[in-house]
Structure 1
């Protein structure tokens, strides 16, 4: 991966995120997964980040993000989760109402790790190997 430059720095920060659905419910379909990828990519663009890789399974998603140093990690996570939850709940409300009684989608927790210890290609292969829902 190529380093990026800011006014007084050169940086390369790649983060692997995992978001799980509330109560680990198996709510993610192929359509939801595709829409989540669009939402996350748009948020990354707005925050000067880059969505490098994305995939998921029926109860969680993985994101590999080229993180821009101007961001606050917890604020970025909040933006990714709140915007995606709001949009997904609106578009797929009928489907989600069979799983949740109120407006929830993501668990409040998340996983994040720097990918500096593993080659980015290995992380990308791991994310690509997720068992995508076939509904």
Structure 2
């Protein structure tokens, strides 16, 4: 479902929300059935708020702009998400890990 024009628009929406919330996008990967992000977020804001904002806006906008999504899917996102912190790991190490694991899917 998340390919072509939908993927391009989704990436733009994600970038918009991340910028508005004062976070920093490190990596973004859209796969056919899910999205993976590596972002730096102020802990006082909270990653859960960022994820909620991304899901909310992308759900509304994509369903308005792509009518096929309204007939094929009752909802675009599940209520679940997976979040992990990387603590003091160097950013380059985390990026390489994410890139390696994406290619092996």
TM-score normalized by the length of structure 1: 0.64
2:6 is aligned with 1:32: yes
Q: How many residues align?
A: 102
Q: 2:84 aligns to what?
A: 113
Which protein has the larger Cα radius of gyration, Structure 1 or Structure 2? 1
CA displacement 1:45-85 (0-9 Å, x = unmatched)? 11110111101210011011111233133222211110111
RMSD between aligned alpha carbons?
Answer: 2.3
54-63 or 115-124: which moved more?
A: 115-124
Once superposed, which parts of structure 1, at least 4 consecutive aligned residues long, lie more than 3 Å away? 127-131
Q: For structure 1, which runs of at least 5 residues remain unmatched after alignment?
A: 1-26
TM-score normalized by the length of structure 2: 0.79
Q: 1:12 aligns to what?
A: none
> As a proportion of its length, which structure holds more helix?
2
Cα separation, 2, equivalents of 1:28 and 1:74: 22
Q: For structure 2, which runs of at least 5 residues remain unmatched after alignment?
A: none
Q: 2:62 aligns to what?
A: 88
Does 1 or 2 have the higher relative contact order (CA < 8 Å, sep 6+)? 1
> As a proportion of its length, which structure holds more strand?
1
